[in-house]
Structure 1
Amino acid sequence: MMRDQDWFGAAIRQPTRELRRRTGDLAAFAEIREVELSNGQERGVRALQIRNADGLEIEVLVDRAFDIGDVRYRGVPVSWRSGNGYRHPALHEVEAEDGLSWLRTLDGFLVSGGLDHTLFGGEVDASQYAYPPKPTVRHGLHGRLSSLPARLLSVEEDWRETGGVLRVRGEIVQATSFGEHLRLRRTVEVDIHGAGFRIDDEVVNLGFERTPHMFLYHINIGWPVVDEGTEFVGSVQRHLWQSPSTEEQGAPHHTLVEPRRGFVEQVWEHELAVGDDGLHRVALLRADGAFGVELAWDPEGMPNFFEWQNLRDGQYGVGLEPSSHHVGGEADARADGSMTWLEHGESRRYRTSVTLLDGTEATAAARARVLGDEG
């Protein structure tokens, strides 16, 4: 699936001082470019285009919660595209469509859910905020986070003696008078050499009221990684929940089917084993083993995981979803005592890495890591 670029890999891994002898600008090999999208519903959305020396390109959407839009590796598209585009947040109507308007923002590689609510919407008690005119609060699907613009904190091209790191930081504040006041600070790092990137998030309660906190990553992968026969690989201990459509459509969780007209979305909640390194890992691997995506994260912050299949014509994609809470959502979490409550100054940390797998050796190694068979 990939062309042989071993000669270039060897050449580019020279000491940085040698690369400087061969170009007037190291941006020839790796860079971060600040741009603004300028057409249609995307007009005015700031983005950071990060490109490393091995052909990895990712796009951080500053005005879309510092989420990640397009991802490519050596020209191969990895991220799922829904057709919505990266809509400017000013166009988003959070309360519309009975809380399902979030679906109009769902596009690209990472769409984050939170910060005080994830999963399906509803009405919950808000008495902790001591504001009598609003005794309850209503939430839509996956909360408000994904339609909030970030404040760009820093852009760093940290070249070292060999390689280095491309790093961007931003923060998003979700706040209202007499309600939540939560801040997400996000760091995205791409090694100058390599086939992956890292997301490091910290959420803190800046308010002085005890505040609910829920967090979810909707990591969306499309064709050609998602294809008929593509395999979901995970060390699944048991299935905690699955949507009713899984019984009717004959589409299993572990092997993807071809696009189907009118396919009804399918969701599983898998209980995953923790690896020897203390991480949760899953992967999507093409049937021919030529390419794949591996996801690893710290289960301390996100102990739960959902697999989302949207295998219909024109929407063909899979979501890998680490989550702070079970699929029952906020009402269930409040009822069973599993809700996360943050007091003033309390925080939670989330660490995740994404690796693009180029070739059969890389996909075989990822399978062994995920299943704990590295020997």
Structure 2
Amino acid sequence: MSNRWILSEYDVESPYQQPAPFLKTLKSHGLAVTHTRLIGGRRDGVELLTVNNGDFSFTTIPTRGMGIHQAKHGDTRLGWTSPIEGPVHPRFVPLADSSGLGWLDGMDELIVRCGLESNGAPEFDAETNRLKYPLHGRIANQPTEDVVVEVSEEGELCLSGEVRETRFLCYNVALKTEIRTKAGENGFRIRDSIVNRSAQATTAQMLYHINLGTPILGAGASVVCPAMEICPRDERAASGIADWSTYPGPIDGYQEQVYYMQLAGDENGQTCALLKNAAGDQGVSVHFNVKQLPCFSLWKNTAAEQDGYVTGLEPATNFPNTRSFEGKQDRIVKLAPGASYDIDLALQFHPDAASVAAVEKSIAALTQGTDAKVHRIPQAGWCG
């Protein structure tokens, strides 16, 4: 068909070749897609798909679970500067490292999915002290199967694929994903479906680690979200609870602070969180549904620029505690054989003060003037 590009059919002879009818369809709608394969170092073999819809562009990584590496609007970058300097090929990410922290060797993306078997802190067997679940799970370091690029007659572009997290006799779950945009849209929309491929019932978790640095993040930047209840993860976070929503500039030696939240949604469960710069004339908003992603974490890591000055807006099915703790709190997705769990998420860039003010107004309407309940210390049931 003239509006589809199946990457696997064009990989053997030329990984960059797009069929002529598809290319013509793209151009007619003011769209462009570039397929590249990186060479050398820890990036070697990583494949990227870069979508340009006019003023806005973004790059996804089929090699790394269809995460979003970075995005741009004009000259403004959405993302952050990681000391990792990725994207890193999964073969260089030691997920089985005995510390449980090997996942951090590949952390570089604007949006990275955490899951599917687990998505939180590393967990160890109480008797043997062997690693049971690594930090943030495995799905971000799995390759994407059956990658397809399509353009509808109306000019909507869709990247789709399936990421499988499978171990014989242990776990058999897949993530089917679609990433959509259209000409002139200042962002993109994601539809993920977590599918139980097994004949047995199973469980899953999902967290979207959405990471933003300069130029949106800076001294005086702030988060605006319809928080109904806020809890510091630990004593370190509790020490900064009064300033949870605002940011300093880079601080050498800064130690991360994390805040767990319950956000309000509209009558359909739709909600939004915004990071805006100090001037309030640029921002990035994340849109999701609290019925699908009922837990929200704010990660503040305003370290020195060379150490990774970044904040994370993180909607999830659960809080990123250990899997066993979250299971005891019944914050876990249960999947019958063949069942699926759908998640909708969108990211939007706001290029001026008027668009920032508009999204702030919509956020304020969700709480209807109700102040958030703020816990000053970690709470049982919230923090593991």
Q: Aligned AA for 2:139?
A: L
Q: Aligned AA for 1:45?
A: V
Q: Deviation digits for residues 263-299 of structure 1, max 9, x if unmatched?
A: 0011000111112452121100112122100111022
Question: Match for residue 139 of structure 2?
Answer: 145
C-alpha distance in structure 2 between counterparts of 1:228 and 1:251, whole Å:
16
Q: Aligned AA for 1:30?
A: L
Question: Match for residue 67 of structure 2?
Answer: 67
Give the % identical residues. Answer: 23
Question: Match for residue 119 of structure 1?
Answer: 120
Q: Is the 8 A contact 1:105 1:146 kept in 2?
A: no
* 1:215 match: secondary structure: strand
Question: Match for residue 325 of structure 1?
Answer: 318
Q: Displacement of 1:371 after TM fit?
A: 1.6
Q: Aligned AA for 2:271?
A: H
Q: Displacement of 1:97 after TM fit?
A: 4.5
- From 296, 302, 306, the equivalent of 1:311 is 302
Q: Deviation digits for residues 110-154 of structure 1, max 9, x if unmatched?
A: 1110011011121479xxxxxxxxxx9811101111111111431
* 1:114 match: secondary structure: strand
Q: Is the 8 A contact 2:227 2:261 kept in 1?
A: yes
Q: Report 1:65-144 matches (<5 A).
A: 65-84=65-84, 85-123=86-124, 138-144=132-138
1:300 to 2:301 alignment: no
Taking structure 2 as the reference length, what is the TM-score of the superposition? Answer: 0.83
Q: Is the 8 A contact 2:264 2:367 kept in 1?
A: no
Give the alignment's Cα RMSD to 1 decimal: 2.4
Question: Match for residue 180 of structure 1?
Answer: 171
Q: Displacement of 1:361 after TM fit?
A: 0.4
Q: Aligned AA for 1:295?
A: V
Question: Match for residue 128 of structure 1?
Answer: none
* 1:224 match: secondary structure: coil
Q: Is the 8 A contact 1:81 1:108 kept in 2?
A: no
Q: Displacement of 1:342 after TM fit?
A: 1.6
Q: Aligned AA for 2:352?
A: G
Q: Is the 8 A contact 1:123 1:138 kept in 2?
A: yes
C-alpha distance in structure 2 between counterparts of 1:121 and 1:374, whole Å:
34
C-alpha distance in structure 1 between counterparts of 2:33 and 2:352, whole Å:
27
| Aligned length in residues | 340
| 4+ residue segments displaced more than 6 Å | none
C-alpha distance in structure 1 between counterparts of 2:328 and 2:188, whole Å:
37
* 2:152 match: secondary structure: strand
Question: Match for residue 339 of structure 1?
Answer: 332
Q: Displacement of 1:227 after TM fit?
A: 0.7
1:228 to 2:219 alignment: yes
Q: Aligned AA for 1:363?
A: V
C-alpha distance in structure 1 between counterparts of 2:44 and 2:229, whole Å:
44
Q: Displacement of 1:89 after TM fit?
A: 1.0
1:201 to 2:192 alignment: yes
Q: Report 1:12-51 matches (<5 A).
A: 26=27, 29-51=30-52
Q: Is the 8 A contact 1:114 1:144 kept in 2?
A: yes
1:372 to 2:374 alignment: no
C-alpha distance in structure 2 between counterparts of 1:255 and 1:243, whole Å:
18
- From 348, 351, 354, the equivalent of 2:344 is 351
Greater mean alpha carbon deviation, residues 193-202 or residues 207-216: 207-216
Consecutive unaligned residues in structure 1, runs of 5 or more:
1-22, 126-135
Question: Match for residue 206 of structure 2?
Answer: 215
1:360 to 2:353 alignment: yes
* 1:372 match: secondary structure: helix
C-alpha distance in structure 2 between counterparts of 1:374 and 1:272, whole Å:
9
C-alpha distance in structure 2 between counterparts of 1:326 and 1:29, whole Å:
40
C-alpha distance in structure 2 between counterparts of 1:25 and 1:105, whole Å:
32
Q: Aligned AA for 1:50?
A: V
Q: Is the 8 A contact 2:120 2:319 kept in 1?
A: no
Consecutive unaligned residues in structure 2, runs of 5 or more:
1-23, 369-384
C-alpha distance in structure 2 between counterparts of 1:251 and 1:35, whole Å:
46
Q: Deviation digits for residues 235-287 of structure 1, max 9, x if unmatched?
A: 11121333322344688221111100000011000111112452121100112
